[in-house]
Amino acid sequence: MIVQIPNLLNVEQLREARARLLAAPWVDGRVTAGHQGAGVKRNRQIAEGSAVAVELGDRVLAALERHPLFISAALPARVYPPMFNRYEGGEDFGNHVDNALRLIPGTAQRLRTDLSATLFLAEPQDYAGGELLVEDTYGAHSIKLPAGHLVLYPSTSLHRVEPVTSGSRLACFLWVQSMVRDEGQRTLLFDLDTSIQRLAQTGADEGARLQLTGCYHNLLRMWAQP
């Protein structure tokens, strides 16, 4: 399941984030790549734990916590501290699957990567190339969203970032450990929750809607591992 989450950050937040990121020091993106990714990753990142990464990351986390679509689609148990990357001058990230486990910096805790997310910080017309290609059973999906929009997709997916041939692609990326580990179960819950919300908006039969809501929560109770 690939879900687009619009307008996670507003215009003012994006303007400030871009200004601070462009003024910050960047490091080779391979410092956080696993064995598989290191050979195909060509980009730069803001150092994890730096003041700008922590502050901007906290703002992204706060926005995610307030966004009902993210909560419904991800059912998050834990979110890895957001990181920030930059592609330009032909830089790219070849085909790879994200590492299954990530050690949360400064802790002894590991996070299982159920979902991956990219938050676009540059407008699509400001750079050429740089599409995120995510493969599933239906083929490859090319994703290049307006600034402030986020895409959420299974971490099990083979994916890549196409070369950026002009301009600069700025983005935030993160991983989510979901309360519901199984992708099929998580998709079913998301579809059910979305349908319940639509029924509420149309004033459908209240009794039937309450019954469906009960089914949703009983399934969540059955499958969730907080």
Q: What is the pLDDT along the chain (226 residues), one digit of tens a residue?
A: 999 999 999 999 999 999 999 999 999 888 776 666 667 999 999 999 899 999 999 999 999 999 999 999 999 999 999 999 999 999 999 999 999 999 998 888 999 999 999 999 999 999 999 999 999 888 899 999 999 999 999 999 999 999 999 999 999 999 999 999 999 999 999 999 999 999 988 888 889 899 999 999 999 999 999 8
User: Tell me, what CATH number does 15's domain have?
Assistant: 2.60.120.620
Q: Domain containing 219: what range?
A: 183-223
Handedness of CA 137, 161, 99, 74 (dihedral sign): negative
Q: Tell me, what's the pLDDT at 31?
A: 77
How many domains, the chain? Answer: 2
Q: Of 104, 60, 64, 114, which is closest to residue 82 (Cα–Cα)?
A: 60
Shared domain check, 8 and 61: yes
Question: Angle at the Cα of 187 (from 183 to 188), degrees rounded to 5?
Answer: 120
Residue where a domain terminates, one of 163, 178, 193: 178
State the amino acid at position 143 in one-letter form.
Answer: I
Shared domain check, 187 and 173: no
Q: Tell me, what's the pLDDT at 203?
A: 81
Shared domain check, 104 and 190: no
User: Tell me, what CATH number does 215's domain have?
Assistant: 4.10.860.20
**Of how many residues is the chain composed?**
226
Shared domain check, 188 and 81: no
Q: Tell me, what's the pLDDT at 33?
A: 63
Dist CA 183 CA 153 (whole Å): 10
Calculate the CA dihedral of residues 181, 184, 188, 191 and round it to 10 degrees.
Answer: 100
Shared domain check, 168 and 117: yes
